[in-house]
Amino acid sequence: MKMHVIHVRISSSLHDQLKTLATTRNEPIAEVIRNLLEQGSSTEIAAQCLETITTAIRKTIRAELKGTENRMAKLSAKATKFAGANIHLIELLRVSASSDKNAASASSADRIKEAMAWAARQMKLWNEEDNND
């Protein structure tokens, strides 16, 4: 491998640190500097790659969660519709029961059947809407 020479000015304190490190490692100061530069360069490249990977992972997670979020919103809307239908049905039954306190009449039974049919139609309609989404 071809080696290049680079002249760099450093402070006295940094020079002393490098000399101490070279003595501790029993290596020439040039070798210590070369190793430190290679480690720093590898670390910088790894950090850049990590940032790219992290960004890609975040985008993927957001996209996946968006589908789940949309599904949860649809389920919540469906639950709200069913709750409204139930409230409507209960109110129809309450009105029917209060108008016929002493005996069940044919009109009361007809109103109950009508309310049940309405609720069934609504639920079928909402299920069809969900299947089309």
Q: Among residues of the chain, what percentage have pLDDT more than 90?
A: 23
Better-predicted residue by pLDDT, 132 or 79: 79
The secondary structure of 42-102 as a DSSP string is: HHHHHHHHHHHHHHHHHHHHHHHHHHHHHHHHHHHHHHHHHHHHHHHHHHHHHHHHHHTSS
Better-predicted residue by pLDDT, 51 or 89: 51
Q: Is the pTM of this model over 0.75?
A: no
Cβ neighbours, 10 Å, residue 32: 19
Q: What pLDDT, on the 0 to 100 scale, is given for residue 29?
A: 92
Q: For residue 20, is pLDDT > 90?
A: yes
| Tens digit of each residue's pLDDT (9 = 90 or more) over 111-125 | 777 777 877 887 787
Tracing tokens 């480690």 back to the chain, one arrives at: 39
Q: What pLDDT, on the 0 to 100 scale, is given for residue 19?
A: 93
Q: How far is CA 11 from CA 8, 14, 15, 23, 131, in A?
A: 10, 5, 6, 18, 72
Q: Which whole number is the average pLDDT over 15-23?
A: 93
- Angle of helix 106-132 relative to helix 29-99, nearest 10 degrees, comes to 160
| Tens digit of each residue's pLDDT (9 = 90 or more) over 97-107 | 666 555 555 56
Q: How far is CA 105 from CA 67, 88, 96, in A?
A: 50, 21, 10
